[in-house]
Amino acid sequence: MAGDAAWKVLHSATLDQREWDDFESRHHAGLRKWLIENPESEKAKEVEKQQKEREMDYLAVL
């Protein structure tokens, strides 16, 4: 799948649920921090939309 999209896998890992939750939490926090620091960016609304969708999708499976 990644190869079909011409992506190159640089790293892979196996995570338990706790580790995956930590990864997702840090990802969401990074996007929120960027939004706080860049409220006037032309990309802010799209980043916020993507962040909210990803977070809601993740929380829906818990």
Q: Which domain holds residue 37?
A: 21-60
Does the predicted TM-score (pTM) go above 0.75?
no
Residue 2 within a domain: no
Residue 11 within a domain: no
Residue 51 within a domain: yes
Evaluated on CA atoms 8, 52, 31, 20, the torsion sign reads negative
Residue 12 within a domain: no
pLDDT value at residue 30: 96
User: Is pLDDT at 3 greater than 80 in this prediction?
Assistant: no
Residue 13 within a domain: no
User: Is pLDDT at 45 greater than 90 in this prediction?
Assistant: yes
Confidence of residue 62 (pLDDT cuts 50, 70, 90): confident
pLDDT value at residue 61: 86
pLDDT in tens, 6-41: 888 888 899 999 999 999 999 999 999 999 999 999
Instruction: Say how many domains are in the chain.
Output: 1
